[in-house]
Chains A and B, each alone.
Chain A
Amino acid sequence: MSKKHEVASREPLIRMSKRDGIPTWKSIGVRLIGLALALIVCAVIIYSLTKLNPLKVYAAMFKGTFGTNKRVWVTIRDIVMLLCIAVGLAPAFKMRFWNIGAEGQILVGGIAAAACMIYLGKSLPSFALIVVMFFGSMVAGGIWGTIPAVFKARWNANETLFTLMMNYVAIQLTSFFVAKWENPFGSNTVGVINQMTKAGWFPPVFGQMYTLNVIIVAVLTVAMFLYLRYSKHGYEIAVVGESENTARYAAINVKTVIKRTMAVSGAICGIAGFIAVAGASHTISTSTAGGRGFTAIIVAWLAKFNTFTMIAISALIVFLEKGAIEIASQFDLNDFVSEMITGIILFFILGSEFFINYKIRFRGGKKEAGK
């Protein structure tokens, strides 16, 4: 065998090569197969670990997400939250600026919103307060995003590490304010802010608590799509992302683009913090961002920075999370089982991206393997 191997050729058993392109129907097919395989693998694991009927488990996931009217709204609230962050990340990632700092940008936005609620809640009328909170969070997030961009533009500091470390600064800052605003004293939690007056809370629109969340994020989603696709800024972001040298050759001020884009990115993440505090939790804690700043990176990447595709990806991920919680509760399983299921499905979805971008050939085989 080994002799033959040396004689025949030095071709490896498996070769991967980048595809030039793939028809849309084929890419959809790959994704559907990936999802089907994910569900099958999950079913096998669910059955072998718990002896539960996997179909019942999937039914429970659906029920947990869409089971009742209120659950549907909570699901929508969480989808738009994740979507908002992904929309914020889109310009940065399109520029190939690795903004891992959404978590921190959300938190400082949340702090700004909570500060307005606590200090201005009694003096400003509700509408004015919400407007102030909106801009306060936007500016806070924008500043938090611009700091690493300035260092990147001026000294070429590594933005991945920088934005990541800014998260920890933001978490400590949040801890500080939680300790400062704790209510009652000594409890180390802020509790529900303005519980009696509801000052700074999103008012119900059309009888629903979370309508305003949806409206704000919908506007941002459309605006970001247009900004990236049709504006001069959007073009500059794309060029800088492809090649900084090309951008310079085209007389684009790369440093300005980096700073401006990160200001936009951070500002939208700051708005996400505002929505989280004013439109959902009405409190602030170190878990206000809750890891969504990282999850949104997956959303932005899977959607290839198309903000409309992000809606569907966000929906899928939130569905998985909600469903997972429901399974854990309904079948009295540990939270970790549900996280395993989410992990398996994400693994297969990411895996199908691989097969869409690369083809695999086995040694001696003439046909394409894989998909």
Chain B
Amino acid sequence: MKKFIAILAVLTMVFALVACAAPASEAKGVKIGVILVHDENTGYDAAHIEGIKAGAAAAGIADDQIIWKYNISEDEKCYDTAIDLVEQGCTYIFSDSYGHQSHMQQAASENPEVVFVSMTGDQAALSKLPNFKNAFTHTFESRYVSGVVAGMKLKELMDAGTVTDPYIGYVGAYPYAEVVSGYTAFFLGVQSIVPSAHMDVIYTNSWYDPTAEAEAANALISKGCCIISQHADSTGAPSAVQTALDAGKAVYCVGYNIDMLSVAPNAALTSAQNNWGVYYTYAFKAALAGEDIVTDWSEGYATGANMISALGKSCAAGTAEKVAEVEAAIKDGTLNIFDTATFTVGGAPVTTYLAIDTDGDFAGDTGEAIENGIFYESKLRSAPYFGIRIDGITELS
């Protein structure tokens, strides 16, 4: 009896908490759910947040039509969050990180009336789910341009005799195609100016780890790298480079997503950037018009989905002109980033590459990426698939 009363008491406590409840009304029309892996403090998520806000403004979506979910890890929390957003009446749900994908796909298969977009994902077409989409900008284009900026600086350093070995470094997050495609594009951009350049890559195994990124940058600097670029989301590497530069080392950096001049005013040359607003504007407008969003969306410089940030004061003379020239060539299609004439593997040119090569579990492992000597990135699907390790680049970890 005593126990029963005790249980009753605790239950009363629960209901005391919930007594003052009111049923909620569901909003009508388009409602957007946003799942972000971090928050506005990381460059990558900040770029998405900016893009979503710009897209909403352009398409005429009000603030209260968007539900934001920050710091959603790449595990079952993503699925739970997606389901909860559906429960809150969301009709379109966007997730911004690659690891969210399989959980988004799961939610999509269970909620056919809601559209799920896994940004940077690669499974939408393979899943055959009509309400599951992927989107990715041509980041490799902006990386190539940022590589040209780095190449100009490298040439200046070598011409001045400050640097004799054209040795550069790259801090990557994970060893998969998205990162490989990015650093290769950057490297080819550098090589377009300094053909003898060579590069080392260190992985941090995290999208956002300021300490690990700074350590990786320091390791590369101590090995003799004079330019450090990155595919990771913090300001760890640029800060480390700025510190090394202040200590008298001739070393500069190229960032990603956000302008690094605030943390590395002298060391930062530029940052490769994505303007996600181009996609979000397209997707939101399609949503409002009731039109289907394409399964694989991918656009780049030509439509303004990619760019580089303002050039830092340490950039070599003539950089702006060179950048304008390269950008124009990318826009009009005369410059192809992954031209097989510009790189080799084991000393030989690459002539064939299976693009959609998953782990072997999926059907449809087809798709020749190379046509007429050009490796067309993000053409067969939006997510990058350039996974070739070319000559001149060494992965250290």
Using a CB–CB cutoff of 8 Å, the interface residues on chain A facing chain B are 24-25, 27-28, 31-32, 35-36, 39, 55, 58-59, 61-63, 65-68, 70-71, 74, 183-189, 191-192, 195, 280-283, 285, 287-288, 306, 308-309, 311-313, 315-316, 319-320, 323, 329, 332, 335, 349
Are A188 and B205 in contact, CB atoms less than 8 angstroms apart? yes
**Alpha-carbon gap, A287 to B103, bound state (A):** 15
Are A61 and B6 in contact, CB atoms less than 8 angstroms apart? no
Are B20 and A309 in contact, CB atoms less than 8 angstroms apart? no
CB distance from B157 to the nearest CB of A (A): 33
- Interface size on B (CB < 8 Å)? 52
6 additional A-B pairs beyond A186-B176, A188-B206, beta carbons within 8 Å, are A27-B6, A31-B9, A35-B17, A61-B18, A186-B179, A323-B17
**Alpha-carbon gap, A36 to B71, bound state (A):** 32
The listed residue with most A CB atoms (<10 A of its CB), out of B10, B176, B206, is B10
Please classify the interface of chain A as helix (H, G, I), strand (E, B), loop, or mixed, using the class held by over half of its residues. Answer: helix
Are B17 and A39 in contact, CB atoms less than 8 angstroms apart? yes
The listed residue with most B CB atoms (<10 A of its CB), out of A36, A189, A280, is A189
Chain B 87-113: CB-based contact to A (< 8 A → 1; otherwise 0): 100000000001101110110000000
**Alpha-carbon gap, A63 to B73, bound state (A):** 23
Quick check: is B28 within 8 A (CB to CB) of the other chain? no
Kindly identify which residue among B14, B83, B102 contacts A70, using a CB–CB cutoff of 8 Å. B83
B-side contacts of A59, CB under 8 Å: 20-22
Chain B 53-91: CB-based contact to A (< 8 A → 1; otherwise 0): 000000000000001111101111101100110110000
B-side contacts of A67, CB under 8 Å: 23-24, 87
Among residues of A, the one whose C-beta sits closest to the C-beta of B99 is: A189
Are B18 and A66 in contact, CB atoms less than 8 angstroms apart? yes
Are A187 and B14 in contact, CB atoms less than 8 angstroms apart? no
Quick check: is B358 within 8 A (CB to CB) of the other chain? yes
**Alpha-carbon gap, A122 to B109, bound state (A):** 21
Which 9 pairs, one residue from A and one from B, show the smallest C-beta to C-beta distance? Answer: A186-B176, A281-B76, A62-B21, A312-B10, A191-B102, A28-B9, A192-B102, A189-B99, A285-B75
Are A280 and B98 in contact, CB atoms less than 8 angstroms apart? no
Quick check: is B16 within 8 A (CB to CB) of the other chain? yes
**Alpha-carbon gap, A71 to B69, bound state (A):** 16
Are A61 and B176 in contact, CB atoms less than 8 angstroms apart? no
Are A282 and B106 in contact, CB atoms less than 8 angstroms apart? yes
The answer to whether residues A65 and B18 also contact, given A186-B174, A312-B10 and a CB cut-off of 8 A, is yes
B-side contacts of A312, CB under 8 Å: 7, 10-11, 13-14
Are B101 and A191 in contact, CB atoms less than 8 angstroms apart? yes
The listed residue with most A CB atoms (<10 A of its CB), out of B73, B102, B122, is B102
The answer to whether residues A309 and B7 also contact, given A67-B24, A287-B73 and a CB cut-off of 8 A, is yes
Are A316 and B2 in contact, CB atoms less than 8 angstroms apart? no
19 residue pairs of the A-B complex, CB under 8 angstroms, read A25-B5, A58-B17, A58-B20, A63-B21, A66-B21, A183-B359, A184-B359, A186-B176, A186-B177, A187-B99, A188-B174, A188-B206, A189-B99, A189-B102, A282-B106, A287-B77, A306-B6, A308-B3, A319-B18
B-side contacts of A280, CB under 8 Å: 76
**Alpha-carbon gap, A285 to B76, bound state (A):** 9
Quick check: is B175 within 8 A (CB to CB) of the other chain? yes
**Alpha-carbon gap, A28 to B86, bound state (A):** 39
Among residues of A, the one whose C-beta sits closest to the C-beta of B11 is: A312
**Alpha-carbon gap, A236 to B23, bound state (A):** 50
Quick check: is B12 within 8 A (CB to CB) of the other chain? yes
CB distance from B89 to the nearest CB of A (A): 10
Among residues of B, the one whose C-beta sits closest to the C-beta of A349 is: B13
